Amino acid sequence: MPELKDAQHKTDICIIGAGPVGLFAVFECGMLKMHCHVVDALDMTGGQCAALYPEKPIYDIPGYPAIDAADLIGKLVFLLIPLIGVLYPMMRFLPTVYDWTMRHKITRLYGELRLLEEDLETPGRKDIAAATAKLDHLESQANRLKMPVAYANQVFNLRHHIDIVRASLKRHADRAAGLQSPPAAPTKSESSVAAMSS
């Protein structure tokens, strides 16, 4: 077990003391969707109620004519169960959802890029000006993507494929202007966005 001095925890709030006040503070944090850690010097929850007078009835808790101190602590801990039921699955699936969201930002642009490339390859469907405008828009969206470093590779690939389609677009534009007859065969790396993006 690591020594306490080496332990590191990141949280929104640290509550010192798992007495009735500390336990209710945990509940309130959960309602506010804040993460919290509770620290107590004792090896039990409940503070004075649990440590000093668990069997003594308490008469001044609103809503209870009389309640044993231990029962009160049990009910306070019980309050936290729904939070565990909600927060635990949330914490478990959050990384997957986050990853999907990040990838979706890129694959959505890939989808548009693929459509653009298909349009360019379809005979009689080449509107060079419209395709250039679409590609410019796509590129500016790709440049504005705010992604964590872990996704830098995929963003780099996307930008590379945008360059490939731009080169292809230029060839079509040159051909349309009669500047370049017979088109150069695409290089291996330029062959298809579809093949590389899947």
Nearer to ligand FAD, 53 or 156 (CB): 53
For every residue of the chain, DSSP letters joined together read: ---GGG-----SEEEE--SHHHHHHHHHHHHTT--EEEE-SSSSSSHHHHHT-TTSEE--STT-SSEEHHHHHHHHHHHTHHHHHHHHHHHHHHHHHHHHHHHHHHHHHHHHHHHHHHHHHSTT---HHHHHHHHHHHHHHHHT----GGGHHHHHHHHHHHHHHHHHHHHHHHHHTTSS-SPPPPPGGGS-HHHHH-
Q: What does the per-residue mask of binding to ligand FAD show for 50-89, with x meaning CB under 6 A?
A: --xx--x-x-x-----------------------------
Q: Is residue 14 a contact point for ligand FAD (CB under 6 A)?
A: no
Contact region with ligand FAD (CB under 6 A), list: 37-45, 81-89, 116-124, 174-182: 37-45
Q: Is residue 39 a contact point for ligand FAD (CB under 6 A)?
A: yes
Give the separation between CA 2 and CA 35, rounded to whole angstroms.
22
Closest CA to 101 of 148, 156, 161: 148
Q: What does the per-residue mask of binding to ligand FAD show for 141-160, with x meaning CB under 6 A?
A: --------------------
Nearer to ligand FAD, 52 or 97 (CB): 52
Contact region with ligand FAD (CB under 6 A), list: 43-51, 96-104, 116-124, 134-142: 43-51
Give the separation between CA 1 and CA 178, rounded to whole angstroms.
75
**Shortest Å distance, C-beta 63 to ligand FAD:** 13
**Shortest Å distance, C-beta 74 to ligand FAD:** 15
Nearer to ligand FAD, 52 or 152 (CB): 52
Q: Is residue 190 a contact point for ligand FAD (CB under 6 A)?
A: no
Q: Is residue 30 a contact point for ligand FAD (CB under 6 A)?
A: no
Binding site for ligand FAD (CB under 6 A): 16-22, 39-42, 47-49, 52-53, 56, 58, 60
